Chain A
């Protein structure tokens, strides 16, 4: 397979044709943060955490979804991309309801880890605080849309690896929601094989296995939580 030569952060790098910038950088120990990317799944380029500069391109490109080219000059740590990454994570935190101390994934969460890595100690944007629900109709798993960042790792792992294609995305923009089959309760799904791959693939506390509801700060009563989230407007 032909080898291509490029430059990443001023270092000469060799990469295979067809490889992504992310892959080439990793091979040389150059770290680029990612969220929607998961090894083994097709890249989506959705979250934009992995933005890098490529000389000659007016806008930064996602490293996970951009193939290397001969002579490419890539910068992964310019002030501009670092501030964009920060902005993206802050917007993700502002879009749903992320209260880490009462979340099943506290201290195991990739979103939290990226925020910590980027030194985010507060969010500059208004919190939208949407009314998002929980679905715990599945016997072993649950989905809490309050924590979902729409990375679609669940959608892709279910489709590409398990071959069940239970998950999809419904709606547009901030109103998008992950749905099971045709927006039915997960527990009633005719396609879900109960394999749990989506739960493993989810980077946040959105998809979880029942029985792991301990956050180290006490146990969450799922039934009460669902009743509170799903209550009718008074």
Chain B
């Protein structure tokens, strides 16, 4: 079998799930005997490559950038895996959902005199509701946990590799 092309992505999450990957410790050596990392916030890749076997995605869909990234990943990836609770159910990122977008902007940015917040073009617009990954693209496997246990990541990855 040729080497597996592995990607990881960081959407609206805290990076804790990526810490979970790093916490594989010795398991990382085992993993990289089978896989090449072709895209990840853990290394400096600019573009998502055209052919990826497995993508581990951390974080929920909170803004337009997250959505675009999720769609790109889906288009170029054989098996997309939701990594961690934020990707799976919104989790901490979705704590703001009962109040919607306005409430979160106000809580985070409004100054005491209540001036309206104006963002430049470069800030991706927030969605009113934070969504789990599988509600915007089809997802092939789920690794729950906040953050997922390294052992769960290891076992799940091996199962996904078997199903490639």
Which residues, 161 to 179 on A, are CB-close (under 8 Å) to B?
Answer: none
Closest B-chain residue to A96, C-beta based?
Answer: B98
Determine if B89 is an interface residue (Cβ-Cβ < 8 Å): yes
A contact residues, range: 20 to 34
Q: Give the Cβ gap from B146 to chain A, nearest Cβ, in Å.
A: 4
On whether A129 and B97 interact (CB within 8 A), knowing A101-B91, A122-B89, the answer reads yes
Hey, which chain A residues are within 8 Å of B132, CB to CB?
122-123, 127
> Which of B82, B90, B103 lies in contact with A234, CB distance below 8 A?
B103
- Expressed in whole angstroms, the Cα–Cα distance for A131 and B103 within the complex equals 12
Judged by a CB distance under 8 angstroms, whether A100 is at the interface is yes
Decide yes or no whether A79 CB sits under 8 A from chain B. no
Docked-complex contact A99 and B98, CB < 8 angstroms: no
Per-residue contact bits, chain A 98-138, to B (CB 8 Å; 1 contact, 0 not) = 11111000000000000000000111001101111000000
B23, CB-defined interface residue at 8 Å: no
Contact A101 B99 (CB under 8 A): no
Q: Quick check: A127 and B89 within 8 Å, CB to CB?
A: yes
Are A122 and B142 in contact, with the CB atoms below 8 A? yes
Query: Which chain B residue lies CB-closest to A232?
Result: B103
| Contact between A127 and B103, CB atoms less than 8 A apart | no
Q: B102: nearest residue on chain A (CB-CB)?
A: A234
In-complex Cβ contact of B134 among A97, A98, A122, A217 (8 A): A122
**Chain B residues near A233 (CB, 8 Å)?**
99, 102-103
Contacting pair A122 B88 (CB below 8 A): yes
| A99→B146 CA distance, assembly (Å) | 10
Which of A99, A130, A132 has a CB less than 8 Å from the CB of B92? A99
A231 at the interface (CB under 8 A from B): yes
- Contact in complex: A131, B94 (CB < 8 Å): no
Least CB distance from B17 to A in Å reads 12
Which single residue of chain A is at the shortest CB-CB distance from B90?
A127
Minimum CB distance partner of B143 in chain A: A121
Residues of B within 8 A of A31 (CB): none
Contact A101 B85 (CB under 8 A): yes
Q: What is the bound-complex CA distance between A132 and B135, given in angstroms?
A: 23
State in angstroms the CA–CA spacing of A99 and B88 once bound together.
11
Residues of B within 8 A of A65 (CB): none
A127 to B88, CA, bound (A): 11
- Determine if B106 is an interface residue (Cβ-Cβ < 8 Å): yes
* Chain A min CB distance to B143 (Å): 8
Say yes or no: A129-B89 contact (C-beta < 8 A), given A97-B97, A97-B98, A234-B106.
Answer: no
Of all chain B residues, the one with the shortest Cβ separation from A217 is B146
7 intermolecular pairs with C-beta atoms under 8 Å apart: A102-B95, A122-B89, A122-B139, A123-B132, A129-B98, A131-B99, A234-B106
Interface residues of B (CB under 8 A from A): 82, 85, 88-92, 94-95, 97-99, 102-103, 106-107, 110, 129, 132, 134-135, 139, 142-144, 146
Residues on A lying within 8 angstroms of B by beta carbon are: 93, 97-102, 121-123, 126-127, 129-132, 217, 228-229, 231, 233-234
